[in-house]
Amino acid sequence: MTDDSPARPAVRKNHTPDGLILLELTGAWTLRSLRSAHADMEAQLAEHAVVLAGWDLRKIDSLDNAGAVMLWRAWGKHRPAVLYLRTEHELLFAHLEAMPAAVPLPRQRDWLSPVALIGKEILALIELLHGLIRLTGQLALDVIDIFRHPTHMPWREISANLYRAGPQAMPITALVGFLVGVVFSYLSTQQLHSYGADVLIINALGISIVREFGPVLTAVLVAGRTGSAMTAQIGAMRAAQELDAMAVIGIAQGVRLILPKVAALTLALPLTVLWTDAVALLGGAVSADVQMHVGVAYFFSHFPGEVPIANLWLGLAKSVVFGFLIALIACHFGLRIRPNTESMRVGTTNSVVTSIAAIMVVDAVFALLFFDVGIK
């Protein structure tokens, strides 16, 4: 032990002339000295606390809050009957004695908690719709301003977002689309072959991919990839106070930030859907050739006659709505992110989840409104 090291805390048992057992504490009862002897001293204090004895703290070299709390807990959070203290230590125990005891509140079952939870979710949905409507209105005003002043059109921002939302997303959409085409064709051929309707694979595969799987699958992939990136980008700009700097300089956030993303994704998603449809149909044709010996050339030569062109237009129309909603939702949640990492995580997650939910809702609406369009 070095000269500047505190004396090790200790407890010593003495007997007074009148037969009283007196526990005498020595050494330094501080956080520094108790760090290495904490477990040992707690065991000793617990052993001595059961003895009907007095406590003498007058020979303690130093005492801080850590030591006082340890003694207070050993005493059962009340002063022993016989206690000798120095005046400067009296304030520590007086403070601990004045602290109110923590009384655990009885846990009551709230039968209305499910109703409150549903109401909270409804209010969150209303707030989301309100924010999207406001953002849409601001976009409409920005578009009107662009028509009045065509030179304000942010072509470079639109081009950059178009490249990120379209060509950079083509590899992953092609891979997933090809695999989905192969899987769907394989499962369909098993069912059609049992009924002797092998040729119907062209109709079944074409309508399902062009009308449903292509647009929905591409939209979900883009929502998880591009939509989350848009939310994170705007959130990072808010965290770095770049949005505030834009407002101070006088740059309109809607024209330079929101409009390019919405316009680019609304234009890029239909083109990406066309690419995904083509690759998915190729995968389905290859699978049909392997399983049912329906040649790839035969598949594509009979495809226009088996699948009405209305299914393609319907799929592209859905993809335009999907792209607009994904970009709008991504920008909405990006603008709501606060300058901390937790808000960034929650905002990005909510953006992707909300976009996918919106895609499913819009797809269901299209299916109900156009259930007899493009079906022979």
Instruction: For residues 292 and 201, give the distance between their C-alpha atoms in angstroms, rounded to a whole number.
Output: 9
Phi, psi (rounded to 5 degrees) for 10? -150, 155
Give the model's pLDDT for residue 217: 93
Q: Are strands 54-56 and 83-84 parallel, antiparallel or unpaired?
A: parallel
DSSP notation for 174-237: HHHHHHHHHHHHHHHHHHHHHTT-GGGHHHHHHHIIIIIIHHHHHHHHHIIIIIHHHHHHHHHH
Beta bridge partners of 84: 56
Q: Which amino acid is at 240?
A: A
Instruction: For residues 31 and 332, give the distance between their C-alpha atoms in angstroms, rounded to a whole number.
Output: 50
Residue 181 has, within 13 A of its CA and on its CB side, a CA count of 27
Give the model's pLDDT for residue 104: 61
Give the model's pLDDT for residue 4: 58
**Minimal CA–CA distance to 188: which of 216, 171, 213, 170?**
213
Give the model's pLDDT for residue 101: 61
Q: CA–CA distance from 353 to each of 102, 234, 348, 349 (Å)? A: 41, 17, 9, 6
Residue 234 has, within 13 A of its CA and on its CB side, a CA count of 27
At 96-112, the pLDDT tens digits run 777 776 556 566 677 77
Give the model's pLDDT for residue 137: 92
Phi, psi (rounded to 5 degrees) for 61? -70, -45
At 26-73, the pLDDT tens digits run 888 888 888 777 778 888 877 777 666 788 888 888 888 888 888 888
Cα angle, residue 356 at apex, residues 154 and 224 outer, rounded to 5°: 60
Q: Which residues of the chain have pLDDT under 70?
A: 1-6, 50-52, 101-108, 196-198, 374, 376
Q: Which residue has the tokens 């000269």?
A: 3
Give the model's pLDDT for residue 1: 46
Beta bridge partners of 56: 24, 84
Instruction: For residues 268 and 159, give the distance between their C-alpha atoms in angstroms, rounded to a whole number.
Output: 10
Q: Are strands 21-29 and 10-15 parallel, antiparallel or unpaired?
A: antiparallel
Instruction: For residues 224 and 253, give the distance between their C-alpha atoms in angstroms, rounded to a whole number.
Output: 24
Burial 294-322 (b: 16+ CB within 10 A, else e): beeeebeeebeebbbeebbebbbebbbbb
Q: Tokens representing 370?
A: 């156009």
